[in-house]
Amino acid sequence: MSKIKVITDSCSSLSPEKMQELGVDWVEMGITIDGQSCNAFEHPTKDPEQFYKNLEKAKKCFTSCVNTQTFTDIFEKYVKQGFDVIYMGLSSGLSSTYYNALNAAKEINESMGQHVWVADSLTGSHGIALMVEKTLEMAKEGKSCEEILKAIDKNGLKNFSIFIPSDLQFLMRSGRISALAAGVGTMLKLVPIIVADEEGKLKTIAKCIGRKKATKTIENFILENADLSSSGTIYISHTNQKEAAEEMAEFLKANTQNKNIKIDYIDYTMGCCCGPNTLAIFGATKKN
Q: What is the average pLDDT value for the chain, to the nearest integer?
A: 90
Residue 138 lies in a domain: yes
Say which CATH number the domain at 216 has: 3.30.1180.10
Q: What's the pLDDT at 286?
A: 86
Q: What is the DSSP string of 225-245?
A: HB-TT--S-EEEEESS-HHHH
Which residue, among 129, 127, 100, has the nearest Cα to 116 in the 3D structure? 100
Residue 46 lies in a domain: no
What secondary structure, in 3-state letters, does 184-226 show? Answer: HHHHCCEEEEEEECCCCCEEEEEEEECHHHHHHHHHHHHHHHE
Residue 94 lies in a domain: yes
Same domain, 163 and 266: yes
Q: Which residue range(s) make up the domain with 70?
A: 3-29+65-152
Say which CATH number the domain at 107 has: 3.40.50.10440
Same domain, 126 and 141: yes
Same domain, 269 and 245: yes
Residue 118 lies in a domain: yes
Same domain, 147 and 165: no
Q: What's the pLDDT at 274?
A: 85
Question: pLDDT tens for residues 101-117?
Answer: 999 999 999 999 999 99
Same domain, 130 and 192: no
User: How many domains would you assign to the chain?
Assistant: 2
Residue 48 lies in a domain: no
Q: Which secondary-structure segment (H or E) carries 136?
A: helix 126-140
Question: pLDDT tens for residues 165-223?
Answer: 876 666 655 455 455 445 545 554 678 888 888 888 888 888 888 889 999 999 999 99
Same domain, 125 and 250: no
Examine the fold and report which residue of 91, 118, 152 is the final residue of a domain before the chain moves on: 152
Which residue, among 119, 125, 140, 155, has the nearest Cα to 262 in the 3D structure? 125
> What is the pTM assigned to this prediction?
0.93
> Residue range 56-64: average pLDDT?
87
Same domain, 174 and 143: no
Which residue, among 153, 190, 154, 193, has the nearest Cα to 169 in the 3D structure? 190
Q: What percent of the chain has pLDDT over 70?
A: 91
Same domain, 130 and 84: yes
- The answer to whether 219 touches 211, Cβ cutoff 8 Å, is no
More confident site: 243 or 191: 243
Q: What's the pLDDT at 230?
A: 77
Same domain, 12 and 141: yes
Residue 88 lies in a domain: yes
Residue 50 lies in a domain: no
Same domain, 200 and 98: no
Question: pLDDT tens for residues 91-103?
Answer: 998 899 999 999 9
Same domain, 74 and 193: no
pLDDT category, 61, cuts 50, 70, 90?
A: confident
Identity of the residue numbered 285: T
Residue 47 lies in a domain: no
Q: What percent of the chain has pLDDT over 90?
A: 72
Which residue, among 274, 249, 252, 250, has the nearest Cα to 264 in the 3D structure? 249
Examine the fold and report which residue of 152, 179, 211 is the final residue of a domain before the chain moves on: 152
Examine the fold and report which residue of 119, 152, 185 is the final residue of a domain before the chain moves on: 152
pLDDT at 85 over 50: yes
Same domain, 17 and 147: yes
